[in-house]
Amino acid sequence: MRIGNGYDVHRLVENRKLILGGVEIPYEKGLLGHSDADVLLHAVMDALLGAAALGDIGKHFPDNDPAYEGADSMKLLEEVGKLLQEKAYFIENIDATVIAQRPKLASYIPQMKKNIANVLGIQEGQVNVKATTEEGLGFTGEGLGIAASSVCLLSEIQNYVGADVLMEDRNCAGCGGCARFGGTRE
């Protein structure tokens, strides 16, 4: 088993959309960034990449690369999911927290969870998203930005099938447990 954590923060500015967990949230400000600045998905991606020892999102999607300007973080998360599949990792669970004084996020969290689970090919029960305020303290409490943190647990395919079943190049042995083969691993 492998554990990873991720953290991201972006400044709130006018004339930008606020997107968290792939959900556009009506608000007077949005997050500033090279991509869509979805701090929640960025923290989740960093946790997943960290657990797999694959670096961070800056390594895979550099903010000085014009190809990622305005990028949809849901598509970037999908790419991270593919990297994990290539390395034969299974996502056991993801737990993430959005830190924002405003806007209130509770009604958007079910869709955020669904988006993350769907793009990664896992069950919604494997994803937890929560939101908290900082009681008016710090940059998030003052409404200057939004932060997110995430942890995840990955398992290696050896935990599900014998090493003798694995292909030599560590690609999936076709156990049927992942989205690639239509499985659900319930």
Choose among 57, 46, 16, 55: nearest CA to 33.
Answer: 16
> Is 61 labelled a binding residue?
yes
> Is 57 labelled a binding residue?
yes
Cα angle 3, 111, 130 (rounded to 5 degrees) comes to 50
> Is 9 labelled a binding residue?
yes
- Spell out the residues 6+ positions from residue 128 whose beta carbon is closer than 8 angstroms to its own: 93, 94, 95, 96, 113
> Is 8 labelled a binding residue?
yes
> Is 63 labelled a binding residue?
yes
> Is 135 labelled a binding residue?
yes
> Is 60 labelled a binding residue?
no
DSSP E strands, the chain: 2-13, 18-20, 23-25, 30-31, 89-99, 127-132, 145-156
> Is 90 labelled a binding residue?
no
Please enumerate, by residue number, every residue annotated as part of a binding site for a divalent metal cation: 8, 10, 42
Known binding-site positions: 8-10, 34-35, 42, 56-58, 61-65, 132-135, 139
